[in-house]
Homo-oligomer: A and B are copies of this chain.
């Protein structure tokens, strides 16, 4: 049998296979809190419980796993997040009552206001502070913890968290977000010095005033999602 004949006769359902889904942890920052998007499940298993936005690969619709993740996030928020990265894949015999199950998990960031129109219009999708989550379906509690831990690491050597803010943001806002992620205060001087030296943001020329001295508004430069510092913040 040559390869062509093999492919002709190949039956994808000949062997038992795990069920496979794609889930995302979508983070945002709102009201001084780091929040994550949860969806109330409409179907079994764990019907009516809250869980992560996700679903199955659509073999005709999706060209890649990331497209599956983004399609599902778009269904729930009405928009596509500006930052997404693969987190980890979870697969074992016990995590799903239906069968041996695999979920490819993504972590994403978006500005709260970009989602507001869509999310405010439905009641099965909501932002939850990461510090006070409800009971969750499957092992989703664990996935969120892992995503948070990874985000905490990245907050020590990158500025990707900025994608959870509006396009134009101030440095005090960016620092407050990093502090919310890390759950500890940062040194203002250290935080700003390295961002400035690495040339990761640019001034918009505008200011944001909230009753006291106004702060400069910045935007992320195009490739700042790819930049990493070679030394972590530690305190």
Q: Does A97 make an interface contact (CB < 8 A)?
A: yes
Scoring A residues 60 to 78 as 1 if CB is less than 8 Å from chain B, else 0, what string do you get? 0011110000000000000
Cβ-defined contact, A64 with B86, below 8 A? no
| Distance (whole angstroms) from the CB of A197 to the closest CB of chain B | 15
Nearest to A95 among chain B residues (CB) is: B64
Q: Does A134 make an interface contact (CB < 8 A)?
A: no
Which residues of B lie under 8 Å from residue A18 when comparing CB positions? 20, 57, 59
How far apart are the CA atoms of A76 and B15 in the complex, in Å? 22
Which residues of B lie under 8 Å from residue A90 when comparing CB positions? 65
Nearest to A230 among chain B residues (CB) is: B232
Scoring A residues 78 to 99 as 1 if CB is less than 8 Å from chain B, else 0, what string do you get? 0000000010111111100111
| Distance (whole angstroms) from the CB of A97 to the closest CB of chain B | 6
How far apart are the CA atoms of A1 and B45 in the complex, in Å? 11
| Distance (whole angstroms) from the CB of A184 to the closest CB of chain B | 15
Cβ-defined contact, A63 with B232, below 8 A? no
Which residues of B lie under 8 Å from residue A19 when comparing CB positions? 12, 17
Q: Can you sample 16 A-B contacts with CB below 8 Å?
A: A1-B44, A6-B44, A6-B45, A10-B98, A12-B19, A17-B20, A17-B57, A18-B20, A20-B20, A57-B102, A62-B93, A64-B91, A64-B92, A104-B104, A156-B230, A230-B231
Q: A59-B100, A64-B92, A65-B102 are in contact. List 7 more A-B contacts (CB 8 A).
A: A10-B98, A15-B56, A65-B90, A65-B91, A65-B92, A86-B89, A89-B104
- Chain A residues with CB under 8 Å of chain B are 1, 3, 6-7, 10, 12-13, 15-20, 44-47, 56-57, 59, 62-65, 86, 88-94, 97-100, 102, 104, 156, 230-232, 234
